[in-house]
Structure 1
């Protein structure tokens, strides 16, 4: 009667091969060369870098030691115009980007609709708000309405991208159930995709308003009105104490709006999570 003996497993004691570092090294070299070439073509006077801290302190003292509060009422009015500009731009952007972004989602629109829309969004994202404002200035003139239109049009590219990415990431259970019951695109969008994506889309809309607040000040520098125009004028006149007051108004207003909008966005998302957990139970 023969007995079967188990052969013990053999373990290799050889050390594993070291991974190749050639690709990361070449990538680092290429990136470093690009940075060096780009920096060399900027014509930077490196000797002035040592003077920059002193210059910043000097201009800081001119602006804030102390700031001039005589123009505060007008600054608040112009800040309100910038907020109005940002709000109108956000409404226009959201009103257009939500339906267009939903159509660009792969689980909603056909390919002959999705591809042109996504190319359109990419083109808009490639054009800065200032360029759009300069183009609109020839049609609408130097008014805050120009700034609102520029903010609304420029935000469509990014906002619509957030919309279709959010719609594409929604759970597929409700969508498949509606399609199995014979629902079409409109029914699936209304009763499956929109309830799941609405909290995130509303949060993104508020975030667009926050972005527009900051951008509206920049658009004012090119004549679109608001606090940016006032800031540009007093900077050109070298009235640094008034410029310091304007900067304080811009920073404080932006921080307050960011805090309020952030609290609302957190409330929306936390409510959506709680609602989703309750439904899962």
Structure 2
């Protein structure tokens, strides 16, 4: 039996294995050198006294001992009153922030507001986020005076930028199923927003609003340093007079109150989000 002469023989290919070229490290090195130069220039511009740095731990320990070794509890009733004033400022500021930022944030979302309005609102939110609460309070002091209302107004205005951004990002990340169903039924943009988008993002927006309230509690103490009232004003006054035992008591009140408010607000936020997940599982089942 003769072998089949038509069978092709496959010979192994010979040749060297091509190694890809090594990526250039020129631009990463230039970027690293540039960042290092900026850090060194910033440190040189601050005129830091490097000889005093080793003494910082001992100074901090000394002041901590002055404040917390024997706190002065005689001013506790007034401290609690001022702390309640700071909480009121934070709460009013959070309400003002939500009332203004929710409708504006919804108009800034893609698919809700027109392109020109979205650009204006997002630019406005970015400008507000760039200005610290203290600067806003200082500007408002010339109009409203040294009152707690100034602090509440400053917290409300400062929170609009962040809360508005959270609102339109939540709307844009929402699932499209409900929106498409309302549009298919002939719904307008307002009806899609009311019956599809708002039910989907309302729990997230409420959670963000509570989180903003937590932030306002901490910020209200800082605003008191510029004369906006609350516990911050007491901290500023007693710090200027170097009454460290009273300052320590005030810091304890601020820390304990902030932790309690954070725990309560965190529990409410978890309940809201867990309820949202339960409803989603019920709909999917």
Q: The TM-score by the shorter chain falls in which range?
A: over 0.9
- Structure 2 residue 68 is matched with structure 1 residue 64: yes
Alpha-carbon offset, residue 248 of structure 1: 0.6
Q: CA 1:209–1:11 in 2, change beyond 3 Å: closer, same or farther? A: farther
- Structure 2 residue 248 is matched with structure 1 residue 257: no
Choose which of 138, 143, 165 in structure 1 pairs with 2:142: 138
What secondary structure sits across from 2:71 in the alignment?
coil
Structure-to-structure mapping, 1:193-272, within 5 angstroms: 193-272=197-276
Rounded Cα–Cα distance in structure 2 between residues aligned with 1:6 and 1:146: 87
Rg (Cα) greater in structure: 2
Choose which of 136, 147, 167 in structure 1 pairs with 2:171: 167
Rounded Cα–Cα distance in structure 2 between residues aligned with 1:114 and 1:131: 26
Residue by residue over 1:129-185, the C-alpha shift from the partner in whole angstroms, topping out at 9 and shown as x without a partner, is 111111111111111111000000111011101110110111112112211211101
CA-based RMSD of the aligned residues comes to 1.5
Structure 1 unpaired stretches of 5+: none
Choose which of 101, 106, 110 in structure 2 pairs with 1:106: 110
Structure-to-structure mapping, 1:79-118, within 5 angstroms: 79-118=83-122
- Structure 2 residue 135 is matched with structure 1 residue 124: no
Rounded Cα–Cα distance in structure 1 between residues aligned with 2:284 and 2:99: 31
Alpha-carbon offset, residue 7 of structure 1: 6.2
Structure 2 unpaired stretches of 5+: none
Alpha-carbon offset, residue 16 of structure 1: 3.5
Alpha-carbon offset, residue 9 of structure 1: 7.2
Q: Give me the TM-score of the superposition, normalised by structure 2.
A: 0.94
- Structure 2 residue 186 is matched with structure 1 residue 182: yes
Rounded Cα–Cα distance in structure 1 between residues aligned with 2:65 and 2:248: 9
What secondary structure sits across from 1:221 in the alignment?
helix
Rounded Cα–Cα distance in structure 2 between residues aligned with 1:88 and 1:82: 10
Structure-to-structure mapping, 1:15-34, within 5 angstroms: 15-34=19-38
Alpha-carbon offset, residue 99 of structure 1: 0.4
Alpha-carbon offset, residue 12 of structure 1: 6.0
